[in-house]
Chains A and B, each alone.
Chain A
Amino acid sequence: MGSITLEHVNKSFGEVEIIPDISLEIEDGEFVVFVGPSGCGKSTLLRLIAGLEDTTSGHIKLDGEDVTGAPPARRGLAMVFQSYALYPHMSVRDNIAFPLKMAKMPQAEIDKKVEYAARTLNLGSYLDRRPRALSGGQRQRVAIGRAIVREPKAFLFDEPLSNLDAALRVNMRLEITELHQQLKTTMIYVTHDQVEAMTMADRIVVLNAGNVEQFGSPLELYKRPANRFVAGFIGSPKMNFVDGPEAEKHNAHSIGVRPEHFALSTTAGAGQWAGTVNVAEQLGSDTFLHVEVEGLGLMTVRTDGEQTFRHGDKVYLTPAANRIYRFDAAGLALQDKPT
């Protein structure tokens, strides 16, 4: 079991309020991702749950039990650190066995569990090596191995993939997702990368300046962002925003259109935004156009990879009518359309 409840959690360092007031309910077995720009308080929030920091006020409950004052050792959670935090003076085997040794488990049982974890994570042939003799991906697996052997109530991941190269990152992303499907244990995963958030999460918590901007499933966040911040943060490339008279036409303070929600043509027509191609980024499958739209500014447009564009080409953009996001002056989404 591993449901996690935060009740009016507040964290301040001296005068500085990192997290003003957060309440969250994370259900047992869920994969929840905390995502947000750096400095948004996502790592602090994770460390509060871990017990590595204590709350200034508010409560943290694990399976309904209040653990606010409990030290990390007593919470029964496991954490995978950004730096992996492997014990450099211990072999891979001893690293994985460490939490079990701390729990005073009999040696025979420890051996069995370490073997099992090593098999699950393909670490069998490295068990007697020191961490420094391993590659980044292998270290990451050891860190995960160390976390799974103790069968925690929940796993906490603190940006675990950010030290890996791009290709390995995609692999490990899949492995962690598979691991979750296999173990069905609650996982909380912190990242600044919205792609990781979208691909891995059951539910995403979008954080900004210590506040929860929105808590929902990836598609919910994509389709119905609660405000301009979430709309801009989720989705890649970023949503285009337009203020002023053009937004007023839609009875909004500002409107947003995702790059993938434009129809593109090279001939002029009614209701279209005329612009000039500034840069065309061709990825093969897609092409991202950075278009200078007259009177509205720079827009990113996603189009298929077949067409080629050059700097200076004239293009005409039609935002999909039912995909225009509308926001009020405070940045909150106006909820009548789109759906």
Chain B
Amino acid sequence: MARNASVQTKVGFTVLAWAVALLLFSPILWTIVTAFKTEAEAIATPPTFLPLTFTLDNFGDVQDRSDYIKHAWNSILVSVGSTLLGLVIAIPAAWSMAFAPTKRTKDILMWMLSTKMMPAVGVLIPIYLIFRDLRLLDTVHGLTIIMTLINLPIIIWMLYTYFKEIPVDILEAARMDGAELWNEIVHVLVPMAIPGIASTLLLNVILAWNEAFWTITLTSGRAGTLTAFISSFSSPQGLFLAKLSAASLLAIAPILLLGWFSQKQLVRGLTFGAVK
């Protein structure tokens, strides 16, 4: 930045920006501090900001009441599982489209994108009935399949934009060096695309983790993910704000941390490479 700004302007902008940012962040901040309060303090008037009596009891209660660990484990299985499965299907497809494009490649990419735009409710009922008949309702593997399918277009698109940046010469050199397709992909393409693949993985884990339509409609007790876990707190039961905050914090903390590391990739992934 070569722009010159007087100190006053800089101070002004800084104060304004921090005010707005803290305002936007306040619901999260409030959740964090409330999670460590007692229930009585959580709803006290006037409210306290930092907990007067710092307690970790809420987290224990949440675990006892709704089994956080089981839901979190389901969330990990579904989000990581669906992303890995998606990568296995997407890497060969993205290789094809990036390095052996045909006249139809663009149409296929656009078509894949269009599947992402189909509203979930449009297919909710058949999927629900199919899942019921195949006994996939409320199973982790059933949910993993759905999650793979809904995120596959994004995975392919992201990989495609990353693969496009790899010079085709290098893959051709591998071919000249006697590498068959498998070796070309495993020894040359994938190692070169590791940053891109990692970003894709990260973003898709986040998207799958936060997906809240299929996880709620297709699961109940057994395979419920954290979105289902938190939804079970939607009807208040006595004093519960502190527990709700603890549960919320537990549900979002892992992904909040991942998300902070993946801002750039997020832009690229969610705009299908249109904004980099």
Is the CB–CB distance between B175 and A71 below 8 Å?
Answer: yes
Identity of the chain B residue whose Cβ is nearest the Cβ of A146 in the assembled complex = B177
Instruction: Please give, as numbers and ranges, the residues of chain A lying within 8 Å of B172 by CB-CB distance.
Output: 52, 72, 79, 81, 85
Q: With an 8 A cutoff between CB atoms, is B28 at the interface? A: no
Cβ A78 vs Cβ B176 within 8 A: yes
Assign chain B's interface to a size class: 10 to 19
Flag the segment in B178-186, B234-242, B267-275 that touches A: B178-186
Give chain A residues whose Cβ lies under 8 Å from the Cβ of B178.
Answer: 73, 99, 102-103, 150
In the complex, whether B170 has a CB less than 8 A from a CB of chain A is: yes
Beta-carbon contact of A50 and B176 below 8 Å: yes
A88 contacts B by Cβ under 8 Å: yes
CB distance from A151 to the nearest CB of B (A): 12
Do the beta carbons of B177 and A102 come within 8 Å of each other?
yes
Most buried by B among A50, A73, A83, A146: A73
* Contact (Cβ within 8 A) B175 A99: no
Instruction: Tell me if B176 and A79 are in contact (CB < 8 A).
Output: yes
Contact partner, B175, options A52, A83, A87, A156, Cβ 8 Å: A52
Instruction: Determine if A102 and B167 form an interchain contact, defined as CB atoms under 8 angstroms apart.
Output: no
| Per-residue interface assignment for chain B, residues 156 to 191, with 1 indicating a CB less than 8 Å from any chain A CB and 0 otherwise | 000000000001011011111111100100011001
Which A residues are in CB contact (< 8 Å) with B183?
Answer: 102
- Measured in the bound complex, the distance between the Cα atoms of B177 and A102 in whole Å is 7
* Chain A residues, CB < 8 A from B175: 51-52, 71-73
Closest Cβ neighbor of A143 among chain B residues: B173
- The reply to whether the CB of B230 lies closer than 8 angstroms to some CB of chain A is no
Identify the interface centre among B175, B178, B187: most chain A CB within 10 Å of its CB.
Answer: B178
| In contact, B174 and A98 (Cβ under 8 angstroms) | yes
Q: Is A77 located at the chain interface by the 8 A CB criterion?
A: yes
- The answer to whether B169 and A81 have CB atoms under 8 Å apart is yes
In the complex formed, the residue of B with least CB distance to A156 is B176
Looking at the assembled complex, report how far the CB atom of A154 sits from the nearest CB atom of chain B, in whole angstroms. 11
B167 nearest in chain A by CB position: A83
Chain A residue at minimum C-beta to C-beta distance from B166: A88
Q: Are B180 and A79 in contact (CB under 8 A)?
A: no
**Nearest residue in A to B175 (C-beta to C-beta)?**
A72
Find out whether the CB atom of B173 lies under 8 angstroms from the CB atom of A150.
no
**Interface flag for B192 (CB, 8 Å):** yes
In contact, B170 and A102 (Cβ under 8 angstroms): no
- Chain A, interface SS category: loop
* Chain A hits for B167, CB < 8 A: 83, 85
Known A-B contacts A89-B191, A89-B192; the reply to A73 vs B173 at CB < 8 A is: no
A98 to B188, CA, bound (A): 10
Partner of B176, one of A77, A86, A89: A77
Shortest CB–CB separation between residue B163 and chain A, in angstroms?
Answer: 15
Smallest CB–CB gap between B19 and chain A, Å? 44
A71 to B194, CA, bound (A): 27
Which residues does chain A contribute within 8 Å of B170, judged by CB atoms? Answer: 85-88
**Chain B residues within an 8 Å CB radius of A88:** 170, 192
Residues of B within 8 A of A52 (CB): 172, 175-176
Q: What 0/1 readout, one digit per residue, does chain A (83-116) give for beta carbons within 8 Å of chain B? A: 1011111100000001100110000000000000
Which of A71, A82, A156 is the most central at the interface, judged by chain B CB atoms within 10 Å of its CB? A71
From residue B106, how far is it (CB to closest CB) to chain A in Å?
16
Q: Is the CB of B169 within 8 A of A83?
A: yes
In chain B, positions 80-120 with a C-beta closer than 8 Å to chain A are: none
A87 B188 Cβ-Cβ under 8 A: yes
Tell me the residues in window 183-216 of chain A with beta carbons closer than 8 Å to chain B beta carbons.
Answer: none
Minimum CB–CB distance from B105 to chain A (whole Å) comes to 15
| Complex: chain B residue closest to A81, CB-CB | B169
Q: How far is the CB of B175 from chain A (nearest CB, A)?
A: 4
Question: In the assembled complex, which residues on chain B have CB atoms less than 8 Å from the CB atom of A87?
Answer: 170, 173-174, 188, 191-192
Those of B53-103 within 8 Å (CB) of chain A: none
Residues of A within 8 A of B191 (CB): 87, 89-90
CA distance A79 to B173 in the complex (A): 7
* Complex interface: chain A residues within 8 A of B179 (CB): 73, 98, 102
A256→B147 CA distance, assembly (Å)? 73
How far in angstroms is the closest Cβ of chain A from B92? Answer: 18
Q: How far is the CA of A85 from the CA of B172 in the complex (A)?
A: 8
A252 CA to B148 CA in the complex, in Å?
Answer: 75
Residues of B within 8 A of A85 (CB): 167, 169-170, 172-173
**Which positions in B face A, CB cutoff 8 Å?**
167, 169-170, 172-180, 183, 187-188, 191-192, 194
* Beyond A87-B188, A88-B170, 8 extra complex contacts between A and B, CB < 8 Å: A71-B175, A78-B177, A79-B173, A85-B167, A85-B170, A87-B191, A103-B178, A150-B178
A–B Cβ pairs within 8 angstroms, 13 of them: A72-B172, A72-B175, A73-B175, A78-B176, A79-B172, A79-B176, A81-B172, A85-B173, A89-B192, A98-B179, A102-B183, A103-B178, A150-B177
* Interface of A toward B, CB cutoff 8 Å: 50-52, 71-73, 77-79, 81-83, 85-90, 98-99, 102-103, 146, 150, 156
In order of increasing CB-CB distance, the 9 nearest A-B pairs are A99-B177, A85-B173, A85-B169, A102-B178, A89-B191, A72-B175, A79-B176, A73-B178, A85-B170
